[in-house]
Structure 1
């Protein structure tokens, strides 16, 4: 006979309550994001772009002083900390949370596409303004801005850049998942710093961050333009979506199929 103790008849069928709680939290917040009126949604996206642009400022300052991508990446994480504490929103943070709500039938695909479109455009607009201010106010950063932004404005649209974009989508969505696993603001700051440093220091291909670096380079007089940037924005956004939705969000939701089914039945 086996020495393994028999399971109690009262044992829970699904022994991961913390995972189920995280799913419920994601659905609840996702519902709120999907039903947000246009003006608050626009403002939240604009502020998100400004917050990320403060990270770009920190990145350029440290890069100009040290020439070290890892230190500059660590400095960039101030942008993600600002996003967290100011409760603004980044386009790539909207893969896990609102998608969970749509899967649970607490929102529609149309509302999700509206959220993505408005947030991305607003992020870029807010970041464009602040990067212009940075370049005009700190001309000593222009050479660094030109070098950093030109790298992304001229990266070939191909397999390597797509893989970098997929990894960037994975990194951001994992950060979002970790932050929604706790109620502690202090604990949430840790993944903001770690993953922000990984994203920028690892020179991954992120649709918003790299767009702001390209904007800074254009403002600084680099020999690149918006025609160089636009196809790379689409390519990086596609890769970010694949990484965030397929490699993180879908697998996370498969951990709680019974809760997904229950939520869909209730919805």
Structure 2
């Protein structure tokens, strides 16, 4: 018996792939298409609350950072924000590349819809984050110095190479974290993934544009010597490399391994309904 025949005998699909990979492709295409086809009000509000939900994690991070001075403990506290993001079904800029990209490859949406999703999500994340940062500054005057010190740590990098590497790592970490979260329905596992991701992101000082921006906004409102030009220069480096980290290190390999399924859906060889039936 050939390998192909053996896999087909052990599985429930005709793609010469493990059933788990076919199920993954099906789920990502369906979820991605739903995200890309949101109406404007839902898209805007979801992105806004993405900034607010992550702000909860920033608030916990600042609290623990000032109380302990530990980046590791403050990273674990930040995981609360990532958990809130998952449980509230909010949208964080480029947190999950795989979903919309798979939907486009499978012919369930188009590239302009991806551009719309990412652009609106980034802007609304920043607006929501700015609003939350303003509340933090007003409510917590005793924490201003911690906000400023944390923001300056993100802005003052030893070299451009380090800055790019930290941005790539952050993009890959958040994308992989989200992918793992979507692979489980267990809330305990979801919490562990969120806390571990926060530990890595904050504990190692990774640079994630939509997340770090909330701290930088708070520092600026608290009187830090940070100009808008400084912020834009920082963004101009961090955001593109966040995207590359998520796309090249996490998303592209996963697209390659399920491409035959996506292509079959696009060509109409198999329907999403048929794949859903097989998955269930």
Q: Give yes or no for TM over 0.5.
A: yes
Asked whether the equivalents of residues 179 and 191 of structure 1 are also in contact (C-alpha less than 8 Å), the reply is yes
Aligned positions of 1:228-267 closer than 5 A: 228-266=230-268
Count of aligned pairs: 263
Q: Distance in 2 between matches of 1:8 and 1:173?
A: 30
1:144 matched to 2:140? The reply is no
1:264 CA drift (Å): 2.0
Task: Sort the Cα spacing of 1:159 and 1:8 in 2 relative to 1 into closer, same or farther, 3 A.
Answer: closer
1:157 CA drift (Å): 7.1
1:48 corresponds, among 37, 47, 50, to 50
Q: Distance in 2 between matches of 1:73 and 1:11?
A: 43
Asked whether the equivalents of residues 157 and 235 of structure 1 are also in contact (C-alpha less than 8 Å), the reply is no
Task: Sort the Cα spacing of 1:183 and 1:265 in 2 relative to 1 into closer, same or farther, 3 A.
Answer: farther
Asked whether the equivalents of residues 60 and 145 of structure 1 are also in contact (C-alpha less than 8 Å), the reply is yes
Task: Sort the Cα spacing of 1:154 and 1:264 in 2 relative to 1 into closer, same or farther, 3 A.
Answer: same
Task: Sort the Cα spacing of 1:34 and 1:142 in 2 relative to 1 into closer, same or farther, 3 A.
Answer: same
1:195 matched to 2:194? The reply is no
Unaligned runs of 5+ in 1: 1-5
1:7 CA drift (Å): 4.2
Aligned positions of 1:207-218 closer than 5 A: 207-218=209-220
SS of 1:91 mapped into structure 2: coil
1:190 CA drift (Å): 2.3
Structure 1 runs of 4+ aligned residues shifted over 4 Å read 6-9
SS of 2:38 mapped into structure 1: coil
Name the structure 1 match of 2:19: 17
- Give the TM-score, by structure 1 length: 0.93
Name the structure 1 match of 2:276: none
1:15 CA drift (Å): 4.6
Q: Distance in 2 between matches of 1:125 and 1:225?
A: 18
1:197 CA drift (Å): 1.9
Name the structure 2 match of 1:3: none
Unaligned runs of 5+ in 2: 272-280
Q: Distance in 1 between matches of 2:257 and 2:218?
A: 41
Aligned positions of 1:95-114 closer than 5 A: 95-114=97-116
Asked whether the equivalents of residues 22 and 180 of structure 1 are also in contact (C-alpha less than 8 Å), the reply is no
SS of 1:73 mapped into structure 2: helix
Task: Sort the Cα spacing of 1:40 and 1:9 in 2 relative to 1 into closer, same or farther, 3 A.
Answer: closer
Name the structure 2 match of 1:29: 31
Name the structure 2 match of 1:132: 134
Asked whether the equivalents of residues 162 and 235 of structure 1 are also in contact (C-alpha less than 8 Å), the reply is yes
